[in-house]
Structure 1
Amino acid sequence: MTTAHTYQRVSAHSPHLYGQKGKGVIVMESCPITAIGMRNILARHCGFAAGVELVSNLSEIPLLMRHNPAKLIIMELCGEDESVLDGLRLIALCLENWPAASIIVCTALDNPRVLQLLTASGIKGLVLKQEPTAALAQCVQQVISGHRNYSLKVRQLLANQSTGGKALTARELDVLAYLFSGKSVTTAALMMHRDIRTISTHKRNAMHKLGFHNDGELYLQGKWMAKTGPVFTH
């Protein structure tokens, strides 16, 4: 849970910076080649010739936002040794503490359940890495113009999904992170300094939002939440 602890330390030490309007762009992508390609797209098609910060891990984003808030964050859901749950928790953190920043998720994950959860989370844009370069450029252009934008492929994948999904809360995400790391509800309650009934309620609410009816479904169909980012050899 190192990433989550980093987020908590940052949020506790810099409340006076929250809500500041940023200027630049943060791109979080663990593959250096992909990251450079995204920066080139921003320069050629979106007017960001400068002020683009490339980072390879989610944990770097709160540190940058603390010292120099960005107006736009473009991120994959996980970096090296980070899980999809870490990405979802970071989104919740940024939306709470830096609401002026717009978030675009550019991900390789195309599970409709993941995409539906993301559209409910409050992000401004969503595009898949499998799509043409123009999809990301269009998404960024629309978002910086003040609009919400989901790419064509994302809309197609969501076409048969039920509407009106609810976002997971920060507490629910924390509980899921503990559960997927192998902790029990009792252990999670002890580590979070909460009553076991409270943790059980968070778990039940999270499962309901995700459409899971029992623990078997949660751990089998929800295993994408514990998926960690690829490891690249530098």
Structure 2
Amino acid sequence: MQVSLRVVVADDHPVILFGAEHALHKFPGIQVVGSARQSTELVNMLRSTECDVLVTDLAMPGGQYGDGLQLIDYLRRNFPKLLIVVLTMLENAALLKRLKELGVTSVVNKADDMSHIALAVQHVGRRMSYMSPSVKVVLDGLRVNFAGRRDDSKLSRRELEVVRLFVSGMTIKEISLHLNRSIKTISTQKNAAMRKLGIERDSELFQYAHSNGLLNPSSNARQDIASES
């Protein structure tokens, strides 16, 4: 008799949560044993429910354990045997590389058919990696594999300069004063950089900067400016 893979699904969007559960129920050998909408619910469920595979949204704000790479890192450290499939709308090869470094080898883009979620679960259950079609396109298009390569070369010198200062802790206004450019120009350059990197939120920009060596935890931009004055 085939043993079912016990799956927990986590997503803060009810429609996605329902769709994922519905897609998983169609596949034999997969049993959905629970769902969660934020990190506190998720961690409590994992502590009380036997689970083989977690299917989780990467951007799931709310809850005491955070979301994104922070949550994935926590789960890998506290539930080392748990297999993880990540759902995301983010098309960022650097983030995929960082997920791989954290032990996540299966990623599904929400823009792809829901059936890919079940296929990813089946693959991780066999200790195999799985990338949905849109994720493969991102990796192939940027010629980035899990061996890793930075893709910030597509940014202009000024865009990269703005990103470095922003992730170092400076506000748009402070960057404007520091570089002697208008606030509108700085904002435009920051937004252009995020668009080129396939990044939609500031939190994702910080994650990208951290995984690509653009963020130096030991430095503080405000202190650097103060020392120059």
- Tell me the TM-score normalized by structure 1: 0.57
Aligned equivalents of 2:147 and 2:83: distance in 1?
Answer: 21
Map 1:119-130; keep pairs closer than 5 Å. 119-130=100-111
Distance change >3 Å, CA 71–CA 212, structure 1 → 2: same
User: Residue 212 of structure 1 aligns with which residue?
Assistant: 214
- Please tell me the root mean square deviation across aligned C-alpha atoms, in Å: 3.5
Aligned equivalents of 1:114 and 1:67: distance in 2?
Answer: 30
Q: Sequence identity, in percent?
A: 25
Aligned equivalents of 2:28 and 2:38: distance in 1?
Answer: 23
User: Residue 147 of structure 2 aligns with which residue?
Assistant: 164
Aligned equivalents of 1:38 and 1:29: distance in 2?
Answer: 9
Aligned equivalents of 2:100 and 2:52: distance in 1?
Answer: 19
Query: How big is the shift at 1:85?
Result: 6.6
Distance change >3 Å, CA 162–CA 40, structure 1 → 2: closer
Q: Which structure has the greater CA radius of gyration?
A: 2
Query: How big is the shift at 1:111?
Result: 2.1
| Structure 2 unaligned blocks of 5 or more | 150-165, 171-207, 222-229
Does residue 141 (structure 1) correspond to residue 112 (structure 2)? The answer is: no
User: Residue 96 of structure 2 aligns with which residue?
Assistant: 115
Aligned equivalents of 1:102 and 1:163: distance in 2?
Answer: 18
CA contact (8 A) 1:27 1:54 kept: yes
1:90-127: CA deviations, max 9, x gaps? 21122122221100001111122222222222113101
SS of residue in 1 equivalent to 2:39: coil
| Structure 1 unaligned blocks of 5 or more | 1-21, 167-178, 184-205, 220-234
Query: How big is the shift at 1:131?
Result: 0.9
Does residue 105 (structure 1) correspond to residue 86 (structure 2)? The answer is: yes
CA contact (8 A) 2:39 2:66 kept: no
Map 1:71-82; keep pairs closer than 5 Å. 71-81=52-62
User: Residue 59 of structure 1 aligns with which residue?
Assistant: 40
Aligned residues: 160
CA contact (8 A) 1:77 1:84 kept: no
Distance change >3 Å, CA 68–CA 52, structure 1 → 2: closer
Query: How big is the shift at 1:81?
Result: 4.0
Does residue 44 (structure 1) correspond to residue 26 (structure 2)? The answer is: yes
1:163-220: CA deviations, max 9, x gaps? 4249xxxxxxxxxxxx97x69xxxxxxxxxxxxxxxxxxxxxx9574242779xxx9x
Distance change >3 Å, CA 208–CA 80, structure 1 → 2: closer
CA contact (8 A) 1:28 1:76 kept: yes
User: Residue 68 of structure 2 aligns with which residue?
Assistant: 87
SS of residue in 2 equivalent to 1:79: coil
Of the two structures, which has the highest relative contact order with CA contacts closer than 8 Å and spacing of 6 or more?
1
1:134-191: CA deviations, max 9, x gaps? 322221221112212122321221232264249xxxxxxxxxxxx97x69xxxxxxxx
CA contact (8 A) 1:77 1:83 kept: no
- Tell me the TM-score normalized by structure 2: 0.58
Aligned equivalents of 1:123 and 1:117: distance in 2?
Answer: 9
